Amino acid sequence: MKATLLLALVITVGLWIGAGYYFMHRIGETEMRTAAVQARYMQSQEQLSTVRAQILLGSVLVRDALLDPDADLDQYRQELDITYRALDDSLALYVPVLDTQPQRERLARLRAQIADFRQSTLRVMAEGKGRDPRQALGLLRTVVVPKRELVIEVSEQVQALNRTAFFQQQDEVAAIYTNSQRQLWQSLGAALAISLAIGLIAASRAGQLENVLRRQKDVETRTARELQDLSAKLITVQEDERRSIARELHDEVGQLLTAVKVELSLAQQAVDSGEAGTAVLAGARTMADTALVSVRDLSRLLHPAVLDDLGLPAAVDWYLREFGGRYRLRTSLERLGPDERLAPELEAAAYRIIQEALTNITKHARATTCRVTLDRQDGRLFVQIDDDGVGFSQVPLTQPTGLGLIGMRERATGVGGTVQFLSAPGGGARVSVDLPARPVRTEPAGAAVSAAPAPLGHPMVVDG
């Protein structure tokens, strides 16, 4: 849940940062463009003003040269050269606001008019020297002044084009500002909508995780309660088992040993009186053999030695024969897969699960046949116990409540496996167990080696 909320926060902050960066970038570009347009406009206007000033200064110099009877024409020409060089420098520095075809045409015409004005002023100075002042003024009015006015008119036209281009650029900048503002609001709206969506998704995900945690907590609470109940039931079962073993020892072995003691006493009396006690000793021997068989059966029920010596299939085979004969149940065993021995804890868990399943069959199923399958494949051990009894009363059996069923599930879980209980009412039941098939660890050199296991290389069915 923390990771989900953190991811939502990072995405939201990223959206807002991205929107802010985009807007600031657009604003920065617009401001730079505006500053560049203003700089070009001011420079162009300044250069055109300088051109007009130099034209006016040139016409004044020509007038002074014509009206001054003692004028030094060389000096005036030098001043005119300086004026025209300044004019040429201004034209060289001139940059139009927009480099359009009308601007280029107006600028070419201005250059041509300036060149014409320059030639006209120089010619007038040469022709007007020594003439009557009124004739000189007439040359100024008829030649120089019209040329000057034409140059000024063309420069004003160029300025007018610059102003028009400047206003056009201002309008475009204003449009860019408006468009940027609209895009900003759209971006902010989209970021807000996405942030709300992320918030809703994060809240929904947090709610789902909370529900998962609540269900997990409920499962853990139920499991803990089941474990407590199982522990209490196990204590009861242990006491019942001990009571059963004590009763078996008292009723069978104890009585047999008591009878053996009585028989030995009778044999001793017969020997003391000189009578033959052979028959009495033979009866005592028979009773001792019976007691030995009872003790051996109890030992096998508690933990069969064949499980340690020959492995799981042999132990299950023996148990099915004994169990089927005791309870008049037709049993069969099918063995599939390789014949490697498994880890002792796995074999013991599988054996106890089969024991408990068969005990439940005799107690509740009212079955006549039972089939056990041991299948080794792909590193797993699959155990399946089928019967033709009445089946489970609760279908499907997802949460077993009986002590035996809980015990089977706990044994499978304890070794990393699973168990499933399947049933159809009146159609029998099936217990499916899936365990990891970990092979037995190899004994170090010099250690004792157990007896070879029974072969499992081919399927085999054993009827009990």
Over residues 162-191, the pLDDT tens digits come to 777 777 777 777 787 788 778 778 877 777
Using one digit for the tens of pLDDT, what is the confidence trace for 42-94?
Answer: 887 787 788 878 888 877 877 777 777 666 777 877 888 888 888 888 878 87
Residue 392 is assigned to a structural domain of this protein: yes
pLDDT of residue 459: 35
Amino acid (1-letter code) at residue 179: N
Q: What single DSSP character describes residue 340?
A: P
* 185 and 319 belong to one structural domain: no
H-assigned helices in 129-144: 133-139
Give buried/exposed letters for 39-71 (b at 16+ CB in 10 A, else e): ebbebbbebbebbbebbebbbebbbebbeeeee
Average pLDDT for 226-251: 69
- Predicted TM-score of the model (pTM): 0.43
d(CA 317, CA 314): 5
* 195 and 315 belong to one structural domain: no
Helices (H) then strands (E): counts for the chain: 11, 6
CB-CB contact of 284 with 264 (8 Å): yes
* 458 and 343 belong to one structural domain: yes
Residue 130 is assigned to a structural domain of this protein: yes
pLDDT of residue 186: 80
Can you state the angle between helices 2-67 and 145-248, rounded to 10 degrees? 170
DSSP string of 272-315, one letter each residue: HTT---HHHHHHHHHHHHHHHHHHHHHHHHHS-HHHHHT-HHHH
User: Taking 70 as the threshold, does the pLDDT of residue 441 lie above it?
Assistant: no
CB-CB contact of 56 with 148 (8 Å): yes
User: Taking 90 as the threshold, does the pLDDT of residue 334 lie above it?
Assistant: yes
Amino acid (1-letter code) at residue 442: T
| Helix (H) or strand (E) segment spanning residue 432 | strand 429-436
Sheet holding 461-463, edge to edge: 418-423, 429-436, 380-387, 369-377, 330-336, 461-463
d(CA 90, CA 84): 10
User: Taking 80 as the threshold, does the pLDDT of residue 245 lie above it?
Assistant: no
107: domain CATH number is 1.20.120.1730
Residue 219 is assigned to a structural domain of this protein: no
Residue 292 is assigned to a structural domain of this protein: no
401: domain CATH number is 3.30.565.10
Average pLDDT for 239-255: 68
d(CA 161, CA 103): 7
Angle at 144 between CA 138 and CA 150, to 5 degrees: 130
Pull the structure tokens for residue 348: 């013991």
Residue 447 is assigned to a structural domain of this protein: yes
Residue 246 is assigned to a structural domain of this protein: no
Work out the mean pLDDT of the chain and round it to a whole number.
77
**Pairing state between β 369-377 and 330-336:** parallel
d(CA 460, CA 464): 13
CB-CB contact of 332 with 371 (8 Å): yes
Residue 275 is assigned to a structural domain of this protein: no
Of 180, 203, 226, which one is at a domain's C-terminal end? 203
* 326 and 456 belong to one structural domain: yes
User: Taking 80 as the threshold, does the pLDDT of residue 32 lie above it?
Assistant: yes
H-assigned helices in 68-100: 73-93
Residues 6+ apart with CB under 8 A from 327: 362
Work out the percent of the chain whose per-residue pLDDT is above 90: 10
Using one digit for the tens of pLDDT, what is the confidence trace for 377-426?
Answer: 988 999 999 999 888 766 555 556 667 788 888 889 888 999 998 887 77
* 54 and 193 belong to one structural domain: yes
Residue 95 is assigned to a structural domain of this protein: yes
d(CA 221, CA 227): 10
Using one digit for the tens of pLDDT, what is the confidence trace for 341-358?
Answer: 888 888 889 998 998 899
* 48 and 158 belong to one structural domain: yes
Which residue range is the domain that position 379 belongs to?
305-463
Domain count, the chain: 2
Of 203, 222, 237, which one is at a domain's C-terminal end? 203
Of 203, 235, 251, which one is at a domain's C-terminal end? 203
* CA quadruple 50, 55, 56, 60: dihedral, nearest 10: 130
User: Taking 60 as the threshold, does the pLDDT of residue 456 lie above it?
Assistant: no
